[in-house]
Chain A
Amino acid sequence: MSRRLLRYLDWPVLVATLILVVGGAVVLYSAVQNSGDASTLVRARILHAVMGLVVLALMAFIDYQTIARAWRPILGTTLFLLVVVLIIGRSSMGAQRWIALGPLGGFQPSELAKLALIITLAKHLDGHKELTSWRDILPVLIQAAVPIALVIRQPDLGTSMVLAAIAAVMLFAGGAPLGALGAMGAGAAVVAPMAWRILHEYQRRRLLVFIDPGADPLGAGYALIQSKIAVGSGQVFGKGLLHGTQNLLHFIPEQHTDFVFTVIGEELGFVGAALMIGLFVLWLWRGMAIAAQAKDRLGMLMAVGAVGMIAFHLFINVGMTVGLTPITGIPLPFISHGGSALVAMMGATGLLLNVGMRRKKILF
Chain B
Amino acid sequence: MRDIAVISFAQTPGRRSVPELNEVEMLMPAIHGALEQVDMTIDDIGFTCSGSTDYLAGTAFSFVSTLDGVGPWPPIQESHVEMDGAWALYEAWVKLQLGELDTALVYAYAKSSPGDLPMVLTRQLDPITVAPLWADSVSLAALQARALLDSGKATEADMATVAARSRKDAMDNPNAQLAWDRPASELLTDGYHIAPLRKSDCPPVTDGAACIILAAGDVARSKVERPAWIRGIDHRVEPIHLGLRDLTVSESTRIAADKAGVAEGKVDVAELHAPFSHQELILVDALGLDSETSINPSGGALAANAMMTAGLIRIGEVANRISNGSADRGVAHATSGPCLQQNLVTVLEGDA
Q: Do A and B come from one complex?
A: no
